[in-house]
């Protein structure tokens, strides 16, 4: 398909892979169309996908670049003759399946999954050449026969699905699931199902023959794994797993011990997942309203102690995914699922809901509400009460009061708050969110949730050094205190106050508020996650690990709980596991600050410098204006010994400092790892004087500071923190 070179990126002092289309192939494609398609492929940013970095054309030959992956191909590993253990094979297949799930969600099918296109870097799988086949076929000139040659668009015969081999124009993402099944078969048995046959016979076998059962070829394979692989190899695409995400979920349940079934905790008698309601309004902008109603129902149902409600982030992680009720029940470990839709027109709203038994898909209850839009509060209460009744839950008088309680009586304030939540959580526009929360408070000055939103927005700006602590922290603290004053029973308000207190270095007070939040709502995963990080930074590793595990159990599909679990492991210097948890966070949200930071610094600490830099660069691609992520890139280059690249970042940060706030902590990371201890401590002293929020979050004890840890000034600085701030208990 292309001529492949290893090149040196002079700007960032790193190796990249430079691919130039074969001249004959280049003549058969429209260059501009190929580049448009490659740009779509370049949007794929996933821990197990080798991304496209750049593209161009020279002398009529299109080219593109990708990161250099230091390792070997899966083909090379298989050719060595070493047998994969069941656990290693399952992990590798899960990584490939997660990459496929992400790409398929973006509308990109690989079409050529095979061992040659899977690279192994430090035993982690990286799928390469995603989107290239699609780009070539989309850009093909009429009658360009070379485009349909083996190994380019039609794929590789040994891994080709029946529909792909027939040239079926309806071939879709399920062809990749078939190829994944072939890949799994080969990894587990050492050979593809129809090995040794010429191309025509091979294509016929994929169409007509059933492969020998996997469990016969390798008797030690768990029955559940063998069954999954054989289901991927179904001739009829409709009989395979319909989405790669289903394969990921099934692989998560498989044990490497063939004598034991995969264990899964049984859900309690009453448990429910509330899926994001579908927006059926003519105006797509009304999605904030349907999402908001979902969140309000989640909050209302969470006040019933006898009902376990799947966490908001885990439920919303399934938004837009075509999963059955049974699949949702298995993934979130619940016995019932609530689905709904919202249609809003002028002053009227129609809300339709149905409660489904997750085990058999049977509809327990359904209802339609046609009301004035301002009746939405009453509708939410009716739905919550109906669910409690249908699940045979008896409510106490206190629980009845909690269901009827409203955080605001002002519908306009409620709408503005929902808009603020939507632009913040969905679009990461903190500036817009702050404006909307402020508007909500003008409509209702005693709206605790709007104060809670402001506190977290300003706290995030302080933590990630987007505003000086002298500006962000007073605003954050005032909003958090007011939220607690107005709603002392609101776990979210207590947790956000604790979060702000951490940034203010008031760690003991923060821990008390996290504990209070957990007391108010034992299932509030965010409070457990924050507590885990504080416990980790204070050296309580076992307690931190348990708190992080509980947060993940309560909210398994949250990028925050998985990202903080990675930070806890990084603090404990368990880098391999930290990388795995960080990548899990990024699978859930490729733009997760926590996941990007944890995965980058953990790779750096382990010596995987190219990987560390790659994750930092991904962060900058998502947030090009973030000095926090730019500094992370500089620090990762410094750790790798790439001093010129690190100094180039320093120069950019100093230039940025002339126009906006740049935290001295960010300079300290880079200077310390460049071996310039004097400048590093100068910056740390400045950070202390500024009362840096980033320093307050406890990153002082992490391996990033190891190069200056033996300097006599290090313990003196730590002693200064502890002496002048009696609530500080940092780790040396």
Q: Which of 205, 208, 181 is nearest to 195 (CA)?
A: 205
Q: Examine the residue annotation and report whether 676 is marked as an active-site residue of this protein.
A: no
Q: Which residues, listed in sequence order, are joined to residue 337 by a DSSP beta bridge?
A: 273, 356
The count of C-alpha atoms lying within 13 angstroms of the C-alpha of 430, restricted to the half-sphere facing its C-beta, is 14
The tokens for 218 are 């390798």
> CB atoms < 10 A from the CB of 632, how many?
29
Q: Residues 557, 313: contact at Cβ < 8 Å?
A: yes
Q: Which helix (H) or strand (E) holds 487?
A: none
Give long-range contacts, CB 8 A cutoff, 24+ apart: 74-83. 74/115, 74/116, 74/118, 74/119, 74/120, 74/125, 74/187, 75/114, 75/115, 75/116, 77/115, 77/120, 78/115, 78/186, 78/187, 78/190, 83/190
Q: Residues 134, 111: contact at Cβ < 8 Å?
A: yes
The tokens for 22 are 């074969």
Out of 32, 112, 283, 710, the active site residue is 112
- Local structure of residue 703 (DSSP, 8 states): G
Q: Which helix (H) or strand (E) holds 336?
A: strand 336-345
* DSSP assignment string, 580-623: HHHHHHHHH-TT-HHHHHHHHHHHHHHT-HHHHHHHHHHHHHH-
SS3 content of the chain, % helix, strand, coil (to 5): 60, 10, 30
**Sheet (strand 54-58) strand order:** 2-9, 14-21, 61-67, 54-58
Q: Residues 117, 17: contact at Cβ < 8 Å?
A: no
Q: Residues 15, 7: contact at Cβ < 8 Å?
A: yes
Whole-number Å distance between alpha carbons of 453 and 416: 12
- Between strands 308-309 and 271-274, the pairing is parallel
Whole-number Å distance between alpha carbons of 579 and 556: 17
Whole-number Å distance between alpha carbons of 256 and 438: 53
Burial of 608 by CB count in 10 Å (0-12 exposed, 13-18 middle, 19+ buried)?
A: buried
Burial of 454 by CB count in 10 Å (0-12 exposed, 13-18 middle, 19+ buried)?
A: buried
75's CB contacts (< 8 A; 6+ apart) are 114, 115, 116
Query: Helices in 233-338 by DSSP H: which ranges?
Result: 244-252, 287-301, 312-316, 325-332
- Between strands 336-345 and 348-357, the pairing is antiparallel
Whole-number Å distance between alpha carbons of 256 and 225: 9
Q: What is the dihedral of CA 689, 691, 696, 699, to 10 degrees?
A: -40
Whole-number Å distance between alpha carbons of 309 and 554: 9
From residue 240, alpha-carbon distances to 233, 235, 329 in Å are 7, 8, 20
Active-site residue numbers? 112
């Amino acid at each position: 398909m292309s001529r492949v070179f290893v090149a040196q990126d002079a700007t960032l002092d790193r190796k990249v892979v430079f691919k130039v289309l074969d001249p004959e192939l280049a003549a058969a494609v429209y260059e501009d169309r190929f580049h448009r398609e490659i740009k779509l492929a370049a949007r794929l940013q996933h821990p197990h996908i080798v991304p496209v970095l750049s593209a161009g054309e020279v002398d009529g030959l299109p080219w593109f670049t990708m990161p250099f992956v230091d390792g070997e191909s899966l083909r090379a590993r298989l050719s060595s003759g070493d047998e994969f253990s069941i656990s290693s094979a399952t992990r590798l297949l899960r990584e490939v399946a997660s990459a496929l799930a992400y790409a398929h969600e973006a509308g990109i099918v690989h079409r050529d999954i095979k061992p040659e296109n899977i690279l192994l870097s430090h035993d982690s799988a990286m799928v390469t050449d995603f989107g290239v086949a699609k780009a070539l076929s989309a850009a093909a000139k009429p009658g360009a026969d070379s485009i349909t040659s083996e190994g380019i668009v039609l794929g590789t015969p040994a891994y080709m699905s029946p529909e792909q081999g027939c040239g079926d124009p309806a071939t879709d993402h399920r062809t990749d699931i078939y190829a994944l099944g072939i890949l799994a078969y080969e990894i587990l048995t050492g050979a593809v199902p129809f090995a040794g046959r010429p191309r025509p016979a091979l294509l016929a076998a994929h169409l007509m023959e059933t492969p020998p059962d996997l469990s016969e070829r390798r008797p030690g394979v768990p029955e559940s794994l063998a069954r999954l692989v054989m289901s991927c190899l179904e001739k009829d695409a409709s009989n395979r797993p319909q989405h790669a995400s289903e394969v990921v979920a099934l692989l998560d349940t498989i044990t490497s011990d063939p004598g034991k079934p995969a264990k899964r905790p049984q859900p309690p008698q009453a448990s429910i997942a509330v899926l994001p309601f579908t927006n059926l309004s003519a105006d797509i902008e009304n999605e904030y309203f349907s999402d908001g109603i979902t969140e309000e129902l989640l909050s209302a149902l969470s006040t019933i102690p006898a009902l376990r409600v799947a966490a908001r982030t885990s439920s919303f992680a399934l938004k837009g995914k075509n999963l059955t009720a049974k699949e949702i029940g298995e993934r979130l470990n619940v016995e019932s699922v609530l689905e709904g839709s919202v249609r809003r027109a002028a002053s009227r709203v129609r809300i339709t809901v149905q409660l489904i038994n997750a085990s058999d898909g049977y509809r327990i209850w359904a209802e339609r509400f046609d009301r004035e839009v301002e009746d939405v509060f009453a509708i939410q209460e009716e739905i919550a009460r109906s669910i409690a009744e249908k699940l045979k839950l008896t409510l106490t008088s206190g629980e009845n009061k909690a269901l009827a309680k409203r955080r605001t009586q002002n519908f306009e304030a409620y709408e503005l708050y929902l808009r603020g939540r939507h632009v913040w959580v969905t679009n990461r526009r903190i500036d817009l969110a702050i404006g909307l929360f402020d508007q909500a408070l003008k409509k209702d000055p005693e709206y605790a949730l709007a104060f809670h939103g402001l506190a977290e927005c300003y706290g995030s700006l302080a933590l990630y050094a987007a505003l000086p602590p002298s500006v962000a922290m007073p605003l954050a603290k005032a909003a958090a205190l007011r939220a607690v004053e107005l709603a002392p029973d609101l776990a979210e308000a207590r947790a956000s106050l604790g979060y702000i207190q951490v940034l203010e270095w008031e760690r003991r007070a923060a821990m008390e508020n996290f504990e209070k939040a957990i007391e108010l709502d034992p299932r509030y995963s965010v409070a457990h996650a924050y507590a885990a990080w504080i416990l980790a930074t204070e050296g309580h590793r076992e307690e931190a690990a348990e708190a992080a595990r509980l947060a993940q159990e309560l909210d398994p599909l949250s990028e925050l709980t998985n990202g903080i679990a990675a930070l806890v492991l990084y603090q404990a210097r368990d880098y391999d596991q930290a990388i795995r948890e960080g990548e899990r966070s990024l699978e859930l949200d490729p733009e997760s600050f926590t996941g990007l930071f944890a995965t980058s610094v953990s790779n750096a600490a382990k010596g995987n410098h190219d990987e560390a830099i790659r994750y930092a660069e991904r962060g900058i691609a998502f947030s090009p204006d973030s000095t926090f992520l730019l500094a992370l890139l500089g620090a990762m280059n410094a750790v790798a010994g790439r001093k010129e690249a690190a100094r180039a970042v320093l120069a950019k940060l100093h230039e940025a400092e002339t126009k906006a706030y740049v935290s001295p902590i960010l300079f300290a990371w880079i200077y310390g790892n460049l071996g310039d201890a004097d400048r590093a401590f100068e910056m740390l002293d400045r950070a202390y004087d500024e009362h840096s929020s980033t320093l307050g979050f406890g990153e002082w004890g992490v391996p990033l500071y190891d190069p200056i840890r033996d300097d006599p000034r290090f313990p003196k600085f730590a002693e200064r923190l502890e002496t002048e701030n009696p609530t500080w208990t940092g780790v040396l």
